[in-house]
Structures are given as structure tokens and as C-alpha cells.
């Protein structure tokens, strides 16, 4: 079990045993996994602030160790740190942190637009406290085990790529600033770029305007085309999807539309929240069937939005459940 899957399993158990307010305010979005040492049975969790670290350590360490043991299958110590200072909670052992934090460091990157926040962060940072962002914060590069190769990487020239992917050349991993707010999202993004549609599908990134959601999505695309040059990658907005579909209906040429969208290897849709607006039932129906076809064919999908799936009020429940079934 990789670190992200372990934490997801622990969160699911915590949600069952903690009051909803406690789980939402103190755990969901405010704590992320940092490292795990099998030799010492030590799980290190990263908190947003020193206050959160000390409070959760004092009140909930026993519960965290219980759910960790349930998830891992053996007794496990849990230690909380604030990665801003790499400092453990008062009751913890500082030397253990130095021995077990072995995640690779991300090379220094030039400044870039503000980073994207993963699900829940924008709403979860305690009032009056500042979110910390550091370009060189160590991150996980996804599962440690090698992932299966999806496509043979055969070199092609840009003109031979069958789809106009619309990727912004400046939106790459190299100039994406990584911090507490987006470290898990970045780790998942890099995992997808290495092995698309193997685990995190669909990948749904949401957050406020200007936080870098589109940057992270395009960075996945650039890395995918570098790793798998023959991939058919399509990057659009939900408005593009709706407008193209309406035009094809008017031209009585919906079959060409379906061939274009259902034969891609990777589909990126920006601002997916607009799919839930207005009376565009036919386009929602078309997107639903497009989603199902790509999912059944094990094709990677990545969506961005300004809100989580549950808050897109006019989105059909069947689509909402499919979005939430992946990594949000």
C-alpha cells in the first residue's frame, strides 16, 4: 500500500469514529501523509500549523495510531510535524524524524503563478492563519512500485500528434510551486504522468480562481506526451465541449463528435463546473456517455473546477458520483 492509499484508508476510518465537525475542521484537508518507515513502524503526518500539530498530537494520537494499525495490519506509531520547521510535536522523538524522512527533494524551480490547492484546503485552513508555501518542499512522486507501461513511446514529430492538445507551454512541473496546500495533488499528478489510468482516474482538482489548477493539469499533459509521444491527448473547457456538441447537432454530424471525444487516450476538461449550468440536458447526456466509454476503455481523465463535485448543484447525481469515485 502506498502512502496516499494508506492515508485515504485512515481518513475513511476516522470519518466513522470522529464527530463530523472534528473530522472536517482538524483532519480532512489539514493533515497530509509525510513518510512511513516499515523498520520502525513509524508514520509521520504533516500538519498545516504548529497549533494544529500540538492540538491533534495531544488529543488524537491514540485514535490515529489505532486507525493506522487497522490500515497497516500491525502496531504503528504516529508522529505529527509541521514541515515548515521540520519540528515534531512535543511528545514525539525528534531523532526519529531525521532517520525516517527519506522522500526525494524536488529541485529548485523558478517562481511561477500561485499553486493549486487540493480538495478541501481552501475551505479547511483555520481562520486567521497563513498557509505556508515553499518551492523546494519534499514531495512524494507517487507509488514506489513500478507501474505498468500504457503505451510504447515511439518518437514522433509534433505534426504527427493526432490531436491539438491546447497545452500551455509554460505550465510544466518544473515551474510549479509546491507547498503544503498542494503536495498530495502534485504527487498524484506525477503518478498519473508516469502511468495514466492505472490508479487515480478520474483525477478531480478543485480550488479558488488563480491557484494553479490549470497549471497542474497542463503539467500532467506535458509529462505524458514526453513519456508517451503517441498519446492522443485532448485538452478543452466544458464550454468548448458543449458548444462543439451543439454545433454538431445543428450540422447533423454527431457521429464525428463522438469519434473525436471517445477515441482519445487522455481527456482534460477545465472548469467542469459549467457543465452543470443552464438547460443543456443533451450535452450532459453526451458527456455522461463519453465519460463511461473512456472509463471502460481505461483512458485517463483529469478535471478542474472551482468547487467539489457535491457543490455543483445542477450536476446529475450519476456524474457527481463518478467524479467522486476517483481522486478528488
CATH assignment of the domain containing 144: 3.40.50.300
| 192 and 90 within one domain | no
pLDDT in tens, 242-287: 888 888 888 888 888 899 899 999 999 999 988 866 556 788 888 9
Looking up cell 519540528 gives 87
DSSP letter for each residue of 135-172: TT-----S-SSPPPP-S------GGG-SS-----TT--
Q: Exposed, middle or buried, 169 (CB in 10 Å: 0-12/13-18/19+)? A: exposed
Q: What is the mean pLDDT of the chain?
A: 77
Assigned domain for 23 exists: yes
The model's pLDDT over 16-70, given as tens digits with 9 standing for 90+, comes to: 888 887 888 788 777 888 888 888 999 999 887 788 888 899 889 989 999 999 8
Count the Cβ atoms, other than its own, within 10 Å of residue 269.
Answer: 26
114 belongs to a structural domain: no
Q: Is 34 helix (H, G, I), strand (E, B) or coil?
A: strand
Residues 15 and 66 in one domain: yes
User: Is the same domain home to 164 and 304?
Assistant: yes
Cis peptide before 202 (omega within 30 of 0): yes
Q: CA–CA separation, 151 vs 148, rounded Å?
A: 9
Rg (Cα) of the chain, in Å, rounded? 21
> Where does a domain end: 71, 100, 129?
100
User: 143 falls in which pLDDT band (50, 70, 90)?
Assistant: very low
Task: Please tell me whether residues 89 and 140 are part of one structural domain.
Answer: no
State if pTM tops 0.75: no
CATH number at residue 51: 3.30.300.180
Residues 260 and 136 in one domain: yes
Within-domain flag for 109: no
Could you tell me if 51 and 130 lie in one domain? no
Rounded Cα distance, 147 and 293, in Å: 23
Please provide the DSSP assignment of 173-229 as one string.
Answer: GGG---BTTTHHHHHHHHHHHHSTTSS--SEEEE-STTSSHHHHHHHHHHHHHHH-T
Domain limit, last residue, from 43, 65, 100? 100
Q: Evaluate whether residue 112 is within a structural domain.
A: no
Task: Choose the weakest-confidence range: 24-28, 83-87, 125-129, 204-208.
Answer: 125-129
pLDDT digits (tens, 9 = 90+) for 63-104: 999 999 989 999 999 999 987 655 455 554 443 333 333 344
Q: Is residue 180 part of a domain?
A: yes
Q: Do 168 and 300 fall within a single domain?
A: yes
Higher pLDDT: 11 or 279? It is: 11
Would you say 108 and 136 are in contact if contact means Cβ atoms under 8 Å apart?
yes
Task: Answer whether residue 301 is part of any domain.
Answer: yes
Which DSSP helix (H) or strand (E) runs through 300?
strand 300-305
Domain residue limits at 85? 3-100
Say if 135 falls within a structural domain.
Answer: yes
The total of structural domains in the chain comes to 2
Amino acid at each position: 500500500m502506498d502512502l496516499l492509499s494508506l492515508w485515504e484508508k485512515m481518513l475513511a476510518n476516522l470519518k466513522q469514529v470522529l464527530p463530523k465537525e472534528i473530522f472536517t475542521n482538524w483532519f480532512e484537508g489539514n493533515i497530509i501523509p509525510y513518510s512511513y518507515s516499515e523498520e520502525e513502524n513509524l508514520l509521520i503526518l504533516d500538519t498545516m500549523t504548529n497549533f494544529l500539530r500540538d492540538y491533534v498530537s495531544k488529543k488524537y494520537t491514540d485514535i490515529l495510531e489505532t486507525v493506522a494499525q487497522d490500515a497497516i495490519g500491525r502496531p504503528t506509531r504516529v508522529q505529527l510535524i509541521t514541515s515548515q520547521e521540520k519540528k515534531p510535536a512535543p511528545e514525539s522523538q525528534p531523532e526519529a524524524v531525521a532517520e525516517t524522512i527519506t522522500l526525494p527533494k524536488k529541485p529548485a524551480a523558478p517562481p511561477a503563478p500561485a499553486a493549486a490547492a487540493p480538495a478541501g484546503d481552501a475551505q479547511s485552513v483555520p481562520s486567521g492563519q497563513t498557509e505556508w508555501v515553499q518551492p523546494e518542499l519534499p514531495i512524494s512522486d507517487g507509488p514506489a512500485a513500478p507501474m505498468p507501461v500504457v503505451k510504447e513511446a515511439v518518437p514522433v514529430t509534433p505534426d504527427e500528434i493526432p490531436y491539438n492538445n491546447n497545452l500551455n507551454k509554460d505550465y510544466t512541473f518544473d515551474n510549479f510551486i509546491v507547498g503544503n496546500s498542494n503536495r498530495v495533488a502534485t504527487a498524484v499528478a506525477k503518478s498519473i504522468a508516469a502511468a495514466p489510468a492505472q490508479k487515480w482516474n478520474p483525477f478531480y482538482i478543485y480550488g479558488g480562481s488563480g491557484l494553479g489548477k490549470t497549471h497542474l493539469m497542463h503539467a500532467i499533459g506535458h509529462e505524458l506526451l514526453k513519456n508517451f509521444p503517441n498519446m492522443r491527448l485532448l485538452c478543452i473547457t466544458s464550454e468548448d465541449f458543449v458548444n462543439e456538441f451543439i454545433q454538431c447537432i445543428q450540422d447533423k454530424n454527431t457521429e464525428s463528435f463522438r469519434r473525436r471525444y471517445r477515441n482519445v487516450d487522455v481527456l482534460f476538461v477545465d472548469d467542469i463546473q459549467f457543465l452543470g449550468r443552464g438547460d443543456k440536458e443533451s450535452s450532459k447526456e453526451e458527456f455522461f456517455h463519453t465519460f463511461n466509454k473512456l472509463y471502460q476503455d481505461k483512458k485517463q481523465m483529469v478535471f478542474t473546477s472551482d468547487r467539489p463535485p457535491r457543490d455543483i448543484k445542477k450536476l446529475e447525481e450519476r456524474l457527481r458520483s463518478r467524479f467522486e469515485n476517483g481522486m478528488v
